[in-house]
Structure 1
């Protein structure tokens, strides 16, 4: 779904259209959950629920397009995740990601979908091993599809810092994948 279609669905959801909210949820939740799993591991589901509670509560005040909605939702998720990490007073833990990250329904055959899910799971597990700033930047830019300024706004950093972290993270991932292929 492109940003225009998502923005239209958000507008209808803001006006009380439950079907439109379902569309928004199905489009954004898998990416949001992947982001949270990269930060929190197994605790992501609870924080995702808290995030959607806040999204529903404050949806009437939101103004913007699909990209802005993604950034707004992930900013809420990030604040919730950081609050959670402060509450448990530990550094962010990375854990192997399981196959529970839902993927959008595909028109392809089950074999193609299975390969895509395996590669998504593997990619998310590699991202979870990156340093936190790089993992967050890669998740926001690649998984959630936010542009540099939007990702920077979510992280409270300058766009250049987010681009650098994203570049370094992607470079590490590339090196890791190249090393795996040589084995």
Structure 2
């Protein structure tokens, strides 16, 4: 167990014994990632309220939870997901699932796609691009990379097989890499034009009345 997970496990167990400071530690460690996951389900507008509702249930049911940090993150994600899906059903909307789930049955890459994505997902811009992925891929990427669940725990949240989750995450991360590359190329194109724009503005400033006389003054002579 890694250091951060060991600390979270200890905090969860202390919170179960009624330690309010420990519960705040758990909340600070998990909430930002849990909120990011809910945003992939319902968008920005309702994510805060739904995540708050999930935390109310987490606090209420915490005494019945059993497990370590990874199991806790998966348990919290299942609660948040159920809240989000209830909200979607009440609004008469459905998640925009991309493609038939059967196409995820293929063999996943043997590489650990979560490790490959950590650096790319370290920026807010990359996290924003997750919303452009097919819904099943977005969920898999956020659960695996942002919430840090292993494939088995993520599969339990989604009600799928671990292999299907690994495949969805792998495909999502490949698509995310393409989106990042396209964004970097567009950004570079904008930056390439900046020097000319600045030079143009300098020339405009001189022609707009800025005194720049080349005649020698009495002090220069």
User: TM-score range with shorter-chain normalisation?
Assistant: 0.7 to 0.9
The question of 1:65 aligning with 2:74 is answered: no
What displacement does 1:182 show? 2.9
Q: Which residue of 2 aligns with 1:96?
A: none
TM-score by length of 1: 0.83
From 25, 31, 35, the equivalent of 1:23 is 25
Q: Which residue of 2 aligns with 1:128?
A: 131
Stretches of structure 2 lacking an aligned partner (at least 5 in a row)? 97-118, 187-221
What displacement does 1:9 show? 0.2
What displacement does 1:122 show? 1.1
Q: Which residue of 2 aligns with 1:74?
A: 77
Q: Which residue of 2 aligns with 1:137?
A: 140
What displacement does 1:91 show? 2.7
Report Cα offsets for 1:133-171 as digits up to 9, x if no partner: 000000000110000000000000000000000000000
* More contact order relative to length (CA 8 Å, sep ≥ 6): 1
Q: Which residue of 1 aligns with 2:14?
A: 12
C-alpha separation between the residues in 1 aligned to 2:123 and 2:9? Answer: 26
- What's the RMSD between the two structures over aligned residues? 1.7
Q: Which residue of 1 aligns with 2:57?
A: 54
Stretches of structure 1 lacking an aligned partner (at least 5 in a row)? 94-115
Moved beyond 6 Å, runs of 4+: none
* Contact residue 38 and residue 124 of structure 1 kept, 8 A: no
Count of aligned positions: 160
* Contact residue 143 and residue 154 of structure 2 kept, 8 A: yes
Q: How does 1:79-98 map to 2 (within 5 A)?
A: 79-92=82-95
Instruction: Name the SS for the 1:34 alignment partner.
Output: helix
